């Protein structure tokens, strides 16, 4: 993986040349000698610019949840706050580690009482641009998503009531909620989720080599990456993996052409069907985001594939009916590596001190007898 860095492109301001009056060669010489700061867009670049979008440096505003500095700071603390869990051991960052590409590098996440979750944890990075949240899209936005893991018995195993009681027992949180939400009753379960949503919206990864390329810098990609980009587009991958995230904007049935096998597509997980009840949604999942994909192994909703080249081969056969050669898999994988953007630098926060009124941890609740 190559280092990611910002590239500053010079802008040349071309004015009239200082030549003696009557010099008939001045105009033609100026036209001939002018240096263009950016190379003309190649057909490959032009094609890519019609299919993909650049990740903006600034995060977007949220509908019905204004992003303010105090709300983001509160959301950051809550994102790292393990006391939102029944055990005081698990936070949002446990499964969506910001130092590891926004994932936990596990097949499926380990939650309360060492229980294994049913699906692989998607990255939180750039998730504000997703069509919806979770593999099956059951949460419309990040606010709704933030409420799910706190209550899930297999994850943080808490309740809205316990969460609010915990937050209200910590004076610093009460003060921060009052600043972030100047309401009559600022400390609520929904406002907790709104603050986490505001923080997560800032977790974008701009300025990847591919973004620089889309912006007109033809040198931002290597020859192998350009070859992989062309193959990615020519093979039909962009039917699902396009737009700003190269995914995350639609639901598709896994195994459209060929069933990838029970290990990758277990029959008991019917995907989007579990949300809609529509038979057409059986085994359909939200299309995985390819931004930063080299950082987010293992792959697929089962997390059963650890090698990115292998994942490319699986997708070629299952979704396209195409068997990529070893060389082609390597070329596409090289292109996918160019999608890694500048990672957000987040300082781990110092969390407020709890009080005697704070509900104490119970790491064994719901798990039967305590060990001796």
What amino acid positions are annotated as catalytic residues?
Answer: 155
For residue 346, count CB atoms less than 10 angstroms from its CB and return exposed for 0-12, middle for 13-18, buried for 19 or more: middle
Residues 6 or more apart from 108 whose CB is under 8 A from it?
A: 116, 117, 118, 119, 120, 121, 302, 303
CA distance 46 to 43: 5
Q: Which residues pair with residue 97 across a beta bridge?
A: 103
Residues 6 or more apart from 99 whose CB is under 8 A from it?
A: none
Which SS3 state, helix, strand or coil, does residue 51 take? helix
What's the length of the chain? 372
Question: 102: how many CB neighbours lie within 10 A of its CB?
Answer: 27
Q: Which residues pair with residue 243 across a beta bridge?
A: 52
Whether a cis peptide bond, with omega within 30° of 0, leads into 288 is no
Say what angle helices 308-315 and 326-337 make with each other, to 10 degrees: 110
| Number of Cα atoms under 13 Å in the Cβ half of residue 203 | 30
CA distance 289 to 127: 9
Q: How many Å from the N-terminal Cα to the C-terminal Cα in the chain?
A: 47
Residue with tokens 């923080």, as numbered in its chain: 199
Whether a cis peptide bond, with omega within 30° of 0, leads into 298 is yes
| Number of Cα atoms under 13 Å in the Cβ half of residue 161 | 0
Q: Which residues pair with residue 116 across a beta bridge?
A: 110
Count each helix (H run) and each strand (E run) in the chain, helices first: 13, 2
Residues 6 or more apart from 331 whose CB is under 8 A from it?
A: 224, 227, 228, 231
């Amino acid at each position: 993986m190559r280092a990611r860095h910002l590239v500053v492109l010079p802008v040349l301001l071309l004015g009239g040349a200082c030549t003696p009056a009557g010099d008939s060669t001045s105009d033609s010489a100026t036209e001939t000698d002018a240096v263009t700061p950016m190379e003309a867009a190649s057909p490959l670049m032009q094609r890519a610019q019609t299919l993909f979008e650049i990740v903006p440096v600034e995060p977007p505003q949220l509908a019905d949840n204004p992003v303010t500095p105090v709300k983001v700071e509160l959301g950051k603390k809550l994102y790292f706050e393990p006391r939102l869990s029944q055990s005081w051991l698990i936070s949002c960052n446990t499964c969506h580690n910001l130092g590891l590409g926004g994932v936990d590098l596990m097949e499926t996440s380990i939650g309360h009482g060492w229980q294994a979750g049913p699906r692989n944890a998607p990255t939180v990075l750039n998730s504000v641009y997703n069509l919806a949240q979770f593999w099956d899209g059951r949460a419309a936005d990040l606010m709704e998503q933030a409420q799910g893991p706190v209550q899930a018995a297999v994850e943080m195993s808490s309740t809205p009531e316990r969460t609010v009681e915990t937050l209200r027992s910590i004076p610093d949180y009460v003060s921060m909620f009052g600043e972030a939400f100047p309401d009559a009753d600022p400390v609520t379960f929904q406002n907790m989720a709104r603050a986490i949503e505001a923080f997560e919206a800032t977790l974008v990864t701009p300025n990847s080599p591919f973004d620089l390329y889309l912006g007109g810098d033809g040198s931002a990609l290597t020859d192998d990456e350009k070859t992989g980009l062309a193959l990615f587009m020519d093979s039909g991958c962009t039917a699902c993996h396009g737009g700003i995230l190269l995914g995350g904007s639609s639901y598709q049935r896994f195994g459209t052409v060929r069933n990838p096998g029970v290990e990758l597509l277990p029959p008991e997980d019917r995907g989007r069907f579990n949300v809609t009840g529509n038979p057409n949604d059986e085994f359909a999942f939200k299309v995985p985001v390819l931004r930063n994909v080299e950082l987010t192994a293992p792959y697929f909703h089962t997390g059963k594939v650890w090698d990115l080249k292998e994942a490319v081969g699986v997708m070629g056969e299952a979704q396209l009916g195409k068997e990529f050669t070893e060389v082609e898999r390597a070329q596409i994988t090289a292109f996918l590596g160019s999608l890694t953007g500048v990672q957000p630098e987040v300082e781990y926060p110092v969390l407020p001190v709890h009080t005697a009124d704070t509900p104490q941890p119970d790491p064994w609740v719901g798990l039967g007898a305590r060990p001796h």
